[in-house]
A and B are shown apart, each in its own frame.
Chain A
Amino acid sequence: MSAFRVPLFLRGEVVEQDWVEFGTRGSGRSFLAPDPHVWAERLPLASPGDMADLHAVPFDEILDVLAELGKALAFATNRHVREAYEAGLVAANYPASMLKQSYVALPYVFERDYVREIAEACVGTEYLNGWVTRRLLDGRELRVRAFGARTLHVPAGNGGLVSAVTIIRNAITRSDAIVKVPSNDPLTAIAIARTLADVAPRHPLTRHLAVAYWKGGDAAVEERICRPERIEKIVAWGGFASVKHVARYIQPGLDLIALDPKRSATIIGREAFESEATMREVAVRTACDIGVANQEGCACARVVWALSGTDAAGLATLNRFGELVYEALLALPDTISTKPKTFDPTLGDHLAATRLGGEEWYRVIGGDDREGAIIVSQIDEPVDYAPMLSSRVANLVPVDDLSRITDAVNAYTQTIGIWPESLKRELRDLLPLFGAQRLTSLGYACNVAIAMPQDAMEPLRRMCKWIVEETCDPAVVPPMWQAPASADPPLVRGPEARPGA
């Protein structure tokens, strides 16, 4: 018995035939989707020339369509969104309260001002909407424009927001998107696409969107799409496996933008422990960074490094702080955090063993009911299974000074939540050297804006093709076909002009 159906969205048409069954991660239930082997060939744009209609759309019209789309996505009235929510109840690892909140919030990200801010901050509207002129030192006149590209998107399934962001980015950059639906968020992208077709039938934005499910790694499907003559870019989010398996299609003419798996951490300065009131405030902020989305996000805190000191007084303070964080974790609103729906049994085994090990090295607060737990290290080291921390289990680690703090960061680090602000400023030139990508005020780790760089890069700029048109007047720019007068400076040439380049 299949729990739901995942139609295929093909540039305005909704395909509901050729159903085949697929399994759903974790739940043991399955869903139906049109056979991707039948439809794969039709997912890519037929010809690159078909991008022309998109480039003719004025930017204001893009903002209008997205704003209309946002309004039409209202949870109370949109049937597709409700279906996506119901499918999510089965397929996603979020409880109803949190899942519902993510759909209720969906319309707001499409608001005109927010979308404009993304375009301005992440690309520059002048580049998106026309040719930007500049004169170089050698006298040539350049005009640069950001063109859209034909792109395959492999969004992450932890929350419908990723699908919405994908569709917004695609529209802003005037790109053509094939969205591969994640199995744990099977209907959000389809719901947005269908609503788009309702509010803007036959509009270029609608005709440049295809959404389909296939099992990630299905080479028979992916090999027909991932070719330089069909797409120019792949945007891959999420899991190690998903990024790794699309990486094999990368070749000249096909670019990978990898928003790969990341982990985040927290650093708390010693000022946090100076008074009971401060400790309580910092505990709430820490709990928020740990608990949002039940710690499923890559921005969520897992290991919390605290400059409490490792002497007896420092440990006593940190243990007390651990109690406060645990209390605050349980008190988070149920729209952002709840008792997790599932609990990794291996993590459960480690937690049980840590507890049985006595309190010489680690103290465990809570966790009896799989509601989340705080492990307070009694030595200046995280637990050996720290990379496994999930389902609202975090590890507080005491340190004496900042010399150990770079241990918090490695090549897989994304966000570091820091308290107080002065400590963040102190660390901001150091931590990026070791891998940190985003330093934010404690409590805001999971409060991620779209109009800023992501994973230490600029994905929107990379999603564009940066095209140059130049004018060189031989009277101004010395021509290469004329021998230079001996007084002239030697020609300065770009790398493309080198022999063999």
Chain B
Amino acid sequence: MPPAHDVSTFMNDPMAYFDRSITKMHRIARAELEPMQRAAMAARFAEHRASIAVVRRLADRLGVDRLADFDDVVPLFFPHTVFKSYPASLLDKKRFDLMTRWLGTLTSYDVSNVATEGCESIDEWIDRLDAETPLEVITSSGTTGTLSIIPKDKAGAVYTMKLWRLFLFQRFGREPTEDELYPEVDVIWPNHASGKLGHLRMAAMLKREFTGGDESRFHALYSDAISTDLMFLASKMRAAASRGELDRIQIDPKLLARKDEFIAMQARRPKEMAEFFERLTRELAGKRVFMIGAYNLMYEVASAGLERGMRGVFAPNSAILTGGGMKGFVLPTNYMDVIKDFLGVDRIQEGYGMSEISALHWACDEGRYHVQPWVIPFVLDPETSEPLPRRGVQTGRAAFYDVFVKSHWGGVISGDEITIDWDTPCPCGLASVPIAHDIMRYSEKQGVEDDRISCSATQEVHGEAVDFLRGFEA
């Protein structure tokens, strides 16, 4: 049994535990790491069993009161549907009191005192939660007419960004330099400047961590926010279309009143895109930057830039991060070269993560995603959800237990098919568990419509909703 204070540091402040060194995080021997993970898992479960109603309900149902082995946690994993298990009509009816009560069963924080009177939109409700609780929830819309709401917290968001800094600028295998620990960068965010939608929440987090809140060093593609309420409408539209009930959609008058604003925002896009490029080449040419975006977005920006005759625009020690899957997009095989050529960097980092947990797993030079030490990975049988053995090469449904997550339950089953080679050390030299580069959503594999709207499809779906609103009189 590892000493209790070590376990506490490991699960609550892994950066301190590993001396802020990514090399230490990923070189720790598994024989040393795993007892620590088990102890942390047991401790976090005990804590969450007491503080999160749904965890307690599930544990009671299964008769689980303590965890010892890794596989013990698997029956307790949440399907992603847990975060949208409220009736979607509560949002239509603006019953934010009931929404808060529902959210309260999923978080370790007490949210019962949040005043929801006068909340007229989802965004207003989330603002209220932001102001009155430790939470910083993120939402993501699906095609089933619902909105997932994950009760993440502010402290976790801040911490996650600090971790990102380590992984963006350090290199595995050598101790970090001062420049790597405290880099000066401008942040390029080829996306909307703000919003409560999963990936847009990140805008504020990035700004806070990497520019110290300096707006002049934060460069978003579009100046405005995406409205969560509009995305909820988009989600309802997709669901209604699939049910043959598009004629029955009720539009919230508050949202309809903003119709012209949304249309103007759509209309501004081409101009803002042009200005964005202008800024990249004029103001930021040769500078050290941190740029982040999904593959398709990154590729669009790069090929548009190359067409404008721009290449090698940033300093070579810039940090570039991408990921997020290829759903619905077909990119040419040399897309990474196109992106590198435009940006002028020799390395583009890739990360694998999901909204339900906090950790991002960074790819090594071999292109394998190395699981962060405070996250316990599982490969499950896709049919039965039983854990596959933690040895040999296993392909199946990815599931994770993140011992660091405090505000909500950290065990989640993903919709992704992954492959883990448990025994062969990764040629990159790291000791941590590697996930093979090719990850596919099961829905994609089965050729069925995914039930969530991916971040890369946000623009398209947003456009659909605005076009739909055009047909209504405000």
Q: Could you count the A-B residue pairs with CB atoms below 8 Å apart for me: how many are there?
A: 67
Chain A residue at smallest Cβ distance from B82 = A353
Complex Cα distance, B248 from A410, in Å, reads 10
Quick one: CB contact mask for A375-409 with B, threshold 8 Å, 1 for yes?
A: 00001010111011000000000000000000000
Interface size on A, residues (CB 8 A): 23
Q: In the assembled complex, which residues on chain A have CB atoms less than 8 Å from the CB atom of B102?
A: 357
B71 interface hit (Cβ, 8 Å)? no
B258 interface hit (Cβ, 8 Å)? no
Complex Cα distance, B87 from A435, in Å, reads 25
Q: In the assembled complex, which residues on chain B have CB atoms less than 8 Å from the CB atom of A131?
A: none
Q: In the assembled complex, which residues on chain A have CB atoms less than 8 Å from the CB atom of B79?
A: 348-350, 352-353
Q: Interface segment, B21-29, B226-234, B237-245, B365-373?
A: B237-245
Quick one: CB contact mask for B429-444 with A, threshold 8 Å, 1 for yes?
A: 0000000000000110
Q: Which one of A357, A361, A381, A411 has the highest number of Cβ atoms from chain B below 10 Å of its Cβ?
A: A357
Q: In the assembled complex, which residues on chain B have CB atoms less than 8 Å from the CB atom of A357?
A: 54, 82, 85-86, 102, 105
Whether B244 and A410, one on each chain, are in contact in the complex, defined by CB atoms closer than 8 angstroms, is yes
Q: Which one of B88, B245, B413, B443 has the highest number of Cβ atoms from chain A below 10 Å of its Cβ?
A: B245
Q: In the complex, what's the smallest C-beta–C-beta distance from A147 to chain B, in angstroms?
A: 34
Whether B451 and A379, one on each chain, are in contact in the complex, defined by CB atoms closer than 8 angstroms, is no
Q: Which of B53, B54, B87, B243 contacts A381 (CB 8 A)?
A: B87
Chain A residue at smallest Cβ distance from B244 = A411
Q: Which of A352, A383, A385, A435 contacts B244 (CB 8 A)?
A: A435
Whether A353 and B81, one on each chain, are in contact in the complex, defined by CB atoms closer than 8 angstroms, is yes
Complex Cα distance, B83 from A356, in Å, reads 11
Q: In the complex, what's the smallest C-beta–C-beta distance from B95 to chain A, in angstroms?
A: 11
B192 interface hit (Cβ, 8 Å)? no
Q: In the complex, what's the smallest C-beta–C-beta distance from B145 to chain A, in angstroms?
A: 6
B146 interface hit (Cβ, 8 Å)? yes
B322 interface hit (Cβ, 8 Å)? no
A412 interface hit (Cβ, 8 Å)? yes
Complex Cα distance, B244 from A435, in Å, reads 10
Quick one: CB contact mask for A317-360 with B, threshold 8 Å, 1 for yes?
A: 00000000000000000000000000001101110111011100
Q: In the assembled complex, which residues on chain A have CB atoms less than 8 Å from the CB atom of B85?
A: 353-354, 356-357
Using C-beta atoms within 8 Å of the partner chain, give the interface range for chain B: 20 to 34
Given the interface pairs A356-B54, A381-B89, the reply to whether A349 lies near B81 with Cβ below 8 Å is yes
Complex Cα distance, B142 from A385, in Å, reads 11
Q: In the assembled complex, which residues on chain B have CB atoms less than 8 Å from the CB atom of A435?
A: 244
Whether A384 and B144, one on each chain, are in contact in the complex, defined by CB atoms closer than 8 angstroms, is yes
Q: Which of A349, A358, A384, A387 contacts B242 (CB 8 A)?
A: A387
Q: In the assembled complex, which residues on chain B have CB atoms less than 8 Å from the CB atom of A412?
A: 243-244
Whether A358 and B105, one on each chain, are in contact in the complex, defined by CB atoms closer than 8 angstroms, is yes
Q: In the assembled complex, which residues on chain A have CB atoms less than 8 Å from the CB atom of B87?
A: 361, 379, 381, 383-384
Complex Cα distance, B146 from A383, in Å, reads 11
Q: In the assembled complex, which residues on chain A have CB atoms less than 8 Å from the CB atom of B181?
A: none
Q: In the complex, what's the smallest C-beta–C-beta distance from A216 to chain B, in angstroms?
A: 12
Complex Cα distance, B77 from A353, in Å, reads 11
B166 interface hit (Cβ, 8 Å)? no
Q: In the assembled complex, which residues on chain B have CB atoms less than 8 Å from the CB atom of A350?
A: 79, 81
B58 interface hit (Cβ, 8 Å)? yes
7 chain-A/chain-B pairs, Cβ below 8 angstroms: A349-B80, A349-B413, A357-B54, A357-B105, A384-B87, A384-B146, A384-B239
Please provide the 5 A-B residue pairs with the shortest distance between their CB atoms, ordered closest to farther: A349-B79, A411-B244, A353-B81, A353-B85, A357-B85
* Given A346-B81, A346-B451, A356-B78, 15 other A-B residues pairs in contact with their CB atoms under 8 A: A346-B443, A350-B81, A353-B85, A358-B57, A358-B105, A379-B87, A379-B89, A384-B88, A384-B144, A385-B144, A387-B239, A410-B244, A410-B248, A412-B243, A435-B244
